[in-house]
Amino acid sequence: MLNMFISKPKLSGMRVSFIALGVLFFISTKTMGQQKEGIKFGKVTAADFKITSPVVDTNANAVIISDIGSTEFVGNNSGDFTLVFKQYKRIWLRNRNAFDAATIHVPIYLGITYDSQEKFEDFEAATYNLENGQVTETRLDKAAVFTEKINKEQIERKFTFPNLKEGCIIEYRYTVKSPFYRHLRSWYFQGQYPCLWSEYKVMIPHMFNYFVTRRGLIPYTIDSVNKIYKNYSIVIPAADAFSSSDHVIVSGNAKFAMWAIKDVPAFKTESFTSSALNYINGIQFLLQSIQYSDDYTKMYIKDWIKTADELMNDPDFGLQLKDNNTWLNDLSPAISKEPDPLVKAKKIFEYVRDNFTCNDHDAYYLSQPLKKTYQTKAGNIIDINLLLTAIFINQGFDAHPVLLSTRSNGFVNESTAVLNQYNYALSRIKINDDYYLLDASYNRLGFGRLPEDCYNNSGRVVDKLPVLVSLSPDSLREEKQTSLFIINGEKGGLEGSFSTTMGHYESYAVREKMIKLKKDDLLKEIRKGMAAEAKIQNLEIDSLKLYDEPLNIKYDVTFDFNGEDVIYFNPLLNEAMKQNPFTSADRVYPVEMPYTTHEVFVLDMEIPKGYVVDELPKSVRYKLNETEGMFEYIFSKSPEKVQMRCKIDINKANFDKEDYGPLREFYSFIIKKQSEQIVFKKIKQ
Amino acid sequence: MKPFLIFIFLSAAFAVTAQNYNVSAIPDSLKENANAVKRMEEFHVIIKSLDKVIVKHRYAITILNEKGDEYAEYSNNYSSLEGLSDISGNLYDASGKKIQSVKKKDISDVSIADGESLMLDDRIKRHNFYNRQYPYTVEYEDEQQAKGTYFLQSWHPVEGDEFSVEQSRYIIEVPAGYKLRYKQLNTSQQPVISQNSYAWELKNFKAIQYERYRPSFNSIAPSVYVGADDFSFGGYTGNMSTWLDFGKFNVTLNKGRDVLPDNIKQEVHKLVDGIPGKEEKVKILYEYLQKNTRYIGIQLGIGGWQPFDAKYVATNKYGDCKALSNYMVSLLKEAGIKANYVLISAGTGYRKLQEDFPASYFNHIITCVPNGKDSIWLECTSQTKSAGFMGSFTGDRKALLIDDDGGHVVSTPFYTAEDNLQSRIINAVIDADGNLAADVNTHCTGSQQELQHSLMHEATKEERDKYLNNALNLPTYQVTRSDYKETKGRIPVVDEYLHVVAPNYVTVSGKRMFIEPNLFNKTRLKLSPDEQRKFPIEFSSSYKDVDTIHIVLPTGYNIEALPKDVSVNNDFGQYSIRFKITDNNIDVIRTMISNRSFFQADRYSELVKYFDTLYKADHSRIVFVKKES
**pLDDT class of A21 with cuts at 50, 70, 90:** very low
Which residue in chain B is spatially nearest to A162 when comparing CA positions?
A: B316
Q: B180 versus A85: which is more confidently predicted? A: A85
Chain B interface includes A132 (CB < 8 A): no
Chain A hits for B511, CB-CB cut-off 8 Å, are: 614-615, 679
Tell me, yes or no, whether A7 and A69 share the same domain: yes
Q: Does residue B522 contact residue B461 with C-beta atoms inside 8 Å?
A: no
Residue A508 counted as domain residue: yes
Strand, helix or coil for residue B149: coil
Percent over 90 (pLDDT), chain A: 67
Chain B interface includes A676 (CB < 8 A): yes
Residue A529 counted as domain residue: yes
Q: So what's the pLDDT on residue B115?
A: 63
| Most B-contacting residue of A376, A574, A618 (CB-CB within 10 A), to test interface | A376
Q: Average pLDDT for residues A226-254, to the nearest whole number? A: 88
The residue among A431, A448, A471 that closes a domain is A471
A-B Cβ pairs (cutoff 8 Å, strict): 121
**pLDDT class of A2 with cuts at 50, 70, 90:** very low
Q: Does residue A282 contact residue A216 with C-beta atoms inside 8 Å?
A: yes
Q: Which residues pair with A70 in a beta bridge?
A: A86, A201
Burial class (CB in 10 A: 0-12, 13-18, 19+), B349: exposed
| Most A-contacting residue of B70, B74, B294, B435 (CB-CB within 10 A), to test interface | B294
Tell me, yes or no, whether A245 and A187 share the same domain: yes
Q: Does residue A643 contact residue B475 with C-beta atoms inside 8 Å?
A: no
Q: What Å distances lie between residue B296 and A99, B115, B225, B329, B453, CA to CA? A: 10, 11, 32, 18, 21
Tell me, yes or no, whether A451 and A483 share the same domain: no
First to last CA, chain B: 113
Chain B interface includes A97 (CB < 8 A): yes
Tell me, yes or no, whether A291 and A310 share the same domain: no
For B53-107, the pLDDT digits (tens) are 999 999 999 999 999 999 999 999 999 889 999 999 999 999 999 999 998 888 9
Q: Is the pLDDT of residue A54 over 80?
A: yes
User: A165: distance to nearest CA of chain B, Å?
Assistant: 6
Tell me, yes or no, whether A80 and A101 share the same domain: yes
Chain B interface includes A566 (CB < 8 A): yes
Residue A397: domain span: 304-471
Q: What is the full DSSP assignment across A85-109?
A: EEEEEEEEE-SGGGGGGGEEEEEEE
For A434-467, the pLDDT digits (tens) are 999 999 999 999 999 999 999 999 999 999 999 9
Q: Average pLDDT for residues A150-168, to the nearest whole number? A: 91
Q: Does residue A87 contact residue A69 with C-beta atoms inside 8 Å?
A: yes
The residue among A471, A504, A524 that closes a domain is A471
Q: Is the pLDDT of residue B601 over 70?
A: yes
Nearest-angstrom CA–CA distance, A380 and A364: 9
Helix count (H) and strand count (E) of chain B? 11, 37
Asked if B469's CB is within 8 angstroms of A162's CB, the reply is no
Residue A557 counted as domain residue: yes
Work out the number of other CB atoms within 10 angstroms of the CB of residue A27.
Answer: 12
Q: Please choose, from the candidates A175, A70, A171, the residue with its C-alpha nearest in 3D space to the C-alpha of residue A121.
A: A175
Q: Average pLDDT for residues A266-274, to the nearest whole number? A: 89
| Cβ within 8 Å of residue B463, ≥6 positions away | none
**pLDDT class of A15 with cuts at 50, 70, 90:** very low
Chain-centre distance for alpha carbon A172: 31
Omega of the bond prior to B135 within 30 degrees of 0, cis? yes
Q: What is the CATH number of the domain that holds A169?
A: 2.60.40.3140
Q: What is the full DSSP assignment across A471-527?
A: E-GGG-EEEEEEEEEEEE-TTSSEEEEEEEE--HHHHHHHHHHHHH--HHHHHHHHH
Q: So what's the pLDDT on residue A9?
A: 36
For B366-400, the pLDDT digits (tens) are 999 999 889 999 999 999 999 999 999 999 999 99
For A614-636, the pLDDT digits (tens) are 999 999 999 999 899 999 999 99
| Cβ within 8 Å of residue A395, ≥6 positions away | A331, A335, A336, A344, A348
Q: A520 versus A456: which is more confidently predicted? A: A456
**pLDDT class of A12 with cuts at 50, 70, 90:** very low
Q: Please choose, from the candidates B62, B71, B60, the residue with its C-alpha nearest in 3D space to the C-alpha of residue B161.
A: B71
For B65-74, the pLDDT digits (tens) are 999 999 999 9
Q: So what's the pLDDT on residue A530?
A: 80
Chain B hits for A158, CB-CB cut-off 8 Å, are: 118-119
The residue among A403, A436, A471 that closes a domain is A471
Q: Is the pLDDT of residue B29 over 50?
A: yes
Q: Which residues pair with A644 in a beta bridge?
A: A603, A635
Q: Please choose, from the candidates A246, A395, A382, A419, the residue with its C-alpha nearest in 3D space to the C-alpha of residue A330.
A: A395
User: A154: distance to nearest CA of chain B, Å?
Assistant: 12
Q: A309 versus A561: which is more confidently predicted? A: A309
For B313-336, the pLDDT digits (tens) are 999 999 999 999 999 999 999 999
Residue A49 counted as domain residue: no
Residue A411 counted as domain residue: yes
Q: Please choose, from the candidates B45, B51, B52, B57, the residue with its C-alpha nearest in 3D space to the C-alpha of residue B173.
A: B45
Q: Is the pLDDT of residue B10 over 50?
A: no
Tell me, yes or no, whether A404 and A516 share the same domain: no
Q: Average pLDDT for residues A177-182, to the nearest whole number? A: 91
Q: A407's torsion region: left (phi>0), alpha (psi -120 to 50) or beta?
A: alpha
Tell me, yes or no, whether A310 and A295 share the same domain: no
**pLDDT class of A20 with cuts at 50, 70, 90:** very low
**pLDDT class of A37 with cuts at 50, 70, 90:** very low
| Most B-contacting residue of A136, A622, A676, A681 (CB-CB within 10 A), to test interface | A676
Chain B interface includes A378 (CB < 8 A): yes
Tell me, yes or no, whether A500 and A359 share the same domain: no
Nearest-angstrom CA–CA distance, A394 and A389: 9
Residue A655 counted as domain residue: yes
Q: What is the full DSSP assignment across B5-65?
A: HHHHHHHHHHHHHT----GGGS-HHHHTT-SEEEEEEEEEEEEEETTEEEEEEEEEEEE-S
Q: Is the pLDDT of residue A26 over 70?
A: no
Asked if B100's CB is within 8 angstroms of A376's CB, the reply is yes
Nearest-angstrom CA–CA distance, A534 and A541: 20
Chain B hits for A150, CB-CB cut-off 8 Å, are: 111
- What is the domain count for chain A? 3
Chain B interface includes A272 (CB < 8 A): no
Of chain A residues 280-319, which have a CB less than 8 A from chain B? Answer: none
Q: Average pLDDT for residues B232-250, to the nearest whole number? A: 92
Residue A585 counted as domain residue: yes
User: B515: distance to nearest CA of chain A, Å?
Assistant: 11
Q: Which of B317, B504, B512 sits opposite A615 (nearest CB)?
A: B512
User: B131: distance to nearest CA of chain A, Å?
Assistant: 7
Q: Is the pLDDT of residue A38 over 90?
A: no
Asked if A376's CB is within 8 angstroms of B129's CB, the reply is yes
For B163-189, the pLDDT digits (tens) are 999 999 999 999 988 888 999 999 988
Tell me, yes or no, whether A562 and A609 share the same domain: yes
Which helix (H) or strand (E) segment is A385 a member of?
A: helix A381-394
Nearest-angstrom CA–CA distance, A177 and A671: 58
- Alpha-helical (H) ranges within B277-432 are 278-292, 310-316, 321-334, 391-394
Residue A520 counted as domain residue: yes
User: A459: distance to nearest CA of chain B, Å?
Assistant: 29
- Alpha-helical (H) ranges within A245-300 are none
Which residue in chain B is spatially nearest to A523 when comparing CA positions?
A: B528
Tell me, yes or no, whether A70 and A155 share the same domain: yes
Q: Please choose, from the candidates A484, A489, A614, A499, the residue with its C-alpha nearest in 3D space to the C-alpha of residue A560.
A: A489
Chain B hits for A356, CB-CB cut-off 8 Å, are: 130, 132
Tell me, yes or no, whether A150 and A14 share the same domain: yes
For A341-372, the pLDDT digits (tens) are 999 999 999 999 999 999 999 998 999 999 99
Tell me, yes or no, whether A425 and A457 share the same domain: yes
User: A377: distance to nearest CA of chain B, Å?
Assistant: 7
Q: B211's torsion region: left (phi>0), alpha (psi -120 to 50) or beta?
A: beta
Nearest-angstrom CA–CA distance, A346 and A335: 9
Q: Domains in chain B, start-ordered, CATH in brackets?
A: 20-236 (2.60.40.3140), 243-411 (3.10.620.30), 423-626 (2.60.120.1130)
**pLDDT class of B299 with cuts at 50, 70, 90:** confident
Burial class (CB in 10 A: 0-12, 13-18, 19+), A211: middle
Q: A501 versus A568: which is more confidently predicted? A: A501
Q: Does residue B517 contact residue B503 with C-beta atoms inside 8 Å?
A: no
Q: What is the CATH number of the domain that holds A646?
A: 2.60.120.1130
Average pLDDT, chain B: 91
Q: Is the pLDDT of residue A485 over 60?
A: yes
Q: Is the pLDDT of residue A312 over 90?
A: yes
Q: Is the pLDDT of residue B264 over 80?
A: yes
Average pLDDT, chain A: 89
Asked if A516's CB is within 8 angstroms of B561's CB, the reply is no
Asked if A676's CB is within 8 angstroms of B507's CB, the reply is yes
For B497-515, the pLDDT digits (tens) are 999 998 878 877 678 888 8
The DSSP symbol for A143 reads G
Q: Does ipTM exceed 0.90? A: no
